[in-house]
Amino acid sequence: MSDLTKLTLTAALDGLDSKAFSSRELTQSFIEAIEASNDTLNAYVVKTPEKALAMADASDARRAAGQAGKLDGAPIGVKDLYCTKGVRTTACSEILGEFTPTYESTVTQNLWDAGAVMLGKLNMDEFAMGSSNETSRFGPPSNPWRRAGSNRALTSGGSSGGSATAVAADLCLAATASDTGGSIRQPAAFTGTVGIKPTYGRASRYGMVAFASSLDQAGPIAKTVEDAALLTEIMCSHDPEDSTSLPVATPDWRADVHKGVKGMKIGIPAEYRVDGMPQEIEDLWSQGIKWLQDMGAQIVNVSLPHTKYALPAYYIVAPAEASSNLARYDGMRFGQRVSGDDLTDTYQGTRASGFGAEVQRRLMIGTYVLSSGYYDAYYLRAQKVRTKILQDFQTVFADVDALLTPTCPSAAFAYGEKSGDPVQMYLNDIFTVTANLAGLPGISIPAALDGQGLPLGLQVIGKALDEATCFRVAGALEEAAGFVAKPERWW
Ligand code: GLN
């Protein structure tokens, strides 16, 4: 039998349906692929092969009984940010020690209810803070892609770098990820995969380790737009356990993927043409515009004047919320504890040893911008900017159906290339944070290889709750780009 791990999610489900192979066989192939590669790629921080095989057998039995769900038998990887009952969940932070949840996140429960099989927990930046996974307590995963003629290890982006590596290297059919400022879309762009951040509130945050609650959103990384559409449908649901979860139905978006863009109006925001943007990114963007035009879309130049304030606003709002959310890690309830002479000493010792440098930096920034005297100057002002950014989008969306931008200002970078300078690292999020600040859906699709042979992504941003249009435009771009490249295997 050909290598089952190379199948798309949709093709694998077809194969299970037609009894070409069983979920056990499929799952076994992934377990072997993970075993053979994890020392090198470091995508999984917890492997659950026995659980996976038990879930696969249960799935095969359901399918034989004619009771298969929409994802029945499909092996999936889970970002270590989702609480999984009985399986260690640490958001790749030392402070969570060996924390093993006694409950399941709503998103992962939705997957298991649809019949999916869990392969394990995927690497990420500590508490999802980062763009390269260099802040993971377990060390970073490697990008399966390398620059032509070079064997220098590249990051697979962040914070969902493990998810992106696993999907790109065929170590799962698809993976869950999460996006607070770009953590689904940027790793997808760096690895030639598809990633969507749905509208804020589409998916439940219940059981997701919190980073910045008003920005955090669950979504998948997958091999194709259709796979992403299916997984998004299953992951999203209204959940009374999350007060910001939207009481809306979750449609089947797969049909939208092939509807084409004829007659659609696509906006091109002038402000995303930033200083110092590499020519290759410019060229890719122009190519994307041409593809859409050739397929019958109308291109409209638009302006989102407050875009330049998005990154500074994000790096105030996100750390502010993080400093509040992460106050719960005090050595009393979860994971690690460093006992001191008194309570304050215990708090300080635990937090100083349990949080890594980037998390500590964010907590200090967040505490500072919320402190009395600075609150108005920083936090309140950032919130006002956030409203302006949302209003910019609302104005242009009165006229266009979706926006097309590059996903990132660069291709995958190497370890150490940006980690010495936090601002350089933060600048990588310049095109992605806007959708989080405005709560809008955004999808990244692999569109081309750069001169060094690395994947580049295009981003489609849609109106709130209009993932359908995102999938439609993304599907058209996927078809036009015909991106089929895979990393050459070195691991
Ligand atoms: N890279 C961004 C940050 O470091 C986004 C992270 C995310 O989306 N979780 O905050």
Looking from the CA of 376 toward its CB, the CA atoms found within 13 Å total: 2
pLDDT value, residue 205: 98
DSSP letters spanning 70-91:
TTTT-EEEEETTB-BTTB---T
Average model confidence (pLDDT) across the chain: 97
Pocket test for ligand 1, best of 163, 183, 360, 362 (most atoms within 8 A of CB): 183
What pLDDT is attached to residue 335?
86
Transcribe 379-429 into DSSP letters.
IIHHHHHHHHHHHHHHHHHTT-SEEEEES-SSS--BTTTTTT-HHHHHHTT
Position 1 pLDDT exceeds 70: no
Q: Rounded to whole angstroms, how far apart are CA atoms 135 and 112? A: 29
Ligand 1 centroid–CA 179 distance in Å is 7
pLDDT in tens, 152-189: 999 999 999 999 999 999 999 999 999 999 999 999 99
Distance, C-alpha 302 to centroid of its chain: 27
Q: d(Cα 268, Cα 458) in Å, to the nearest integer?
A: 12
Q: Is the pLDDT of residue 198 over 80?
A: yes
Evaluate: CB of 160 within 6 angstroms of ligand 1.
no
- Give the pLDDT of residue 69: 98
436 lines ligand 1 (CB under 6 A): no
Residue 366 beta carbon below 6 angstroms from any ligand 1 atom? no
Q: How far is the CA of 230 from the centre of ligand 1 (A)?
A: 25
Query: What is the DSSP secondary-structure string of 393-405?
Result: HHHHHTT-SEEEE
* Strand order across the beta sheet in which 402-406 lies: 44-47, 117-122, 75-79, 174-179, 217-222, 194-197, 442-449, 455-462, 402-406, 265-269, 298-302
Distance separating the N- and C-terminal Cα atoms of the chain: 22
Span 345-350, mean pLDDT? 96
Cβ–ligand 1 contact at 129 (below 6 Å): yes
Phi then psi dihedrals of residue 58, to 5 deg: -65, -35
With tokens 């429960």, the residue in question is: 109
Triad 390, 392, 394: Cα angle to 5°: 70
The residue whose two tokens read 């290889």 is 449
- Ligand 1 neighbour 12 (Cβ under 6 A): no
Q: Is 317 in the pocket of ligand 1 (CB under 6 A)?
A: no
Q: How far is the CA of 430 from the centre of ligand 1 (A)?
A: 11
Residue spans of the domains in the chain: they are 3-261+408-481
Catalytic annotation present for 183: yes
3-261+408-481 to CATH, choices 3.90.480.20, 3.40.640.10, 3.40.50.150, 3.90.1300.10? 3.90.1300.10
* pLDDT score recorded for residue 334: 82
Best residue among 92, 133, 180, 315 to mutate for probing ligand 1, ranked by most atoms within 8 Å of CB: 180
- For residue range 114-155, what is the model confidence (pLDDT) as tens digits? 999 999 999 999 999 999 999 999 999 999 999 999 999 999
What's the rounded Cα separation, in Å, for the pair 239 and 246? 8
Kindly give the distance from the C-alpha atom of residue 425 to the centroid of ligand 1, in angstroms, as a whole number: 10
The verdict on the CB of residue 179 being under 6 Å from ligand 1 is yes
pLDDT, tens digit, for every residue of 45-85?
A: 999 999 999 999 999 999 999 999 999 999 999 999 999 99
Residue type, 315: Y
Rounded-to-integer distance, Cα 454 and Cα 420, Å: 23
Residue pointed to by tokens 């978006």: 253
pLDDT in tens, 230-285: 999 999 999 999 999 999 999 999 999 999 999 999 999 999 998 888 999 999 99
Neighbours of 430 (CB within 10 A): 21
Nearest atom in ligand 1 to 314's CA: 10
Ligand 1, atom 10, lies closest to the CA of: 129
Q: Is residue 359 within 6 Å of ligand 1 at its C-beta?
A: no
What's the confidence (pLDDT) of residue 382? 98
In order, the DSSP letters of 270-327 are GGGS-TT--HHHHHHHHHHHHHHHHTTPEEEEE--GGGGGHHHHHHHHHHHHHHHHGG
Concerning whether 323 is annotated as a catalytic residue, the answer is no
Per-residue HEC secondary structure of 203-239 comes to CCCCCECCCCCCCCEEEEEECCHHHHHHHHHHHCCCC
431 C-beta closer than 6 A to ligand 1: no
Question: Is residue 463 flagged as an active site residue?
Answer: no
Q: Whose Cα sits closest to atom 4 in ligand 1?
A: 130
The token pair at 410 is: 């660069």
Name which of 168, 189, 272 is nearest 445 in CA terms.
189
Give the rounded distance of the alpha carbon of 474 from its chain centre: 16
Residue 32 has pLDDT above 90, yes or no: yes
Find out whether the beta carbon of 159 lies less than 6 Å from any atom of ligand 1.
yes
Q: Per the confidence metrics, is the pTM higher than 0.85?
A: yes
Closest residue by Cα to residue 163 from 107, 113, 119, 104? 119
Catalytic pick among 93, 183, 323, 410: 183
In testing the pocket of ligand 1, which one of 131, 160, 221 has its CB within 8 Å of the most ligand atoms?
131
Nearest to 136 by CA among 96, 181, 195: 96
pLDDT score recorded for residue 358:
97
Rounded to the nearest angstrom, the gap between the alpha carbon of residue 12 and the centroid of all alpha carbons in its chain is 22
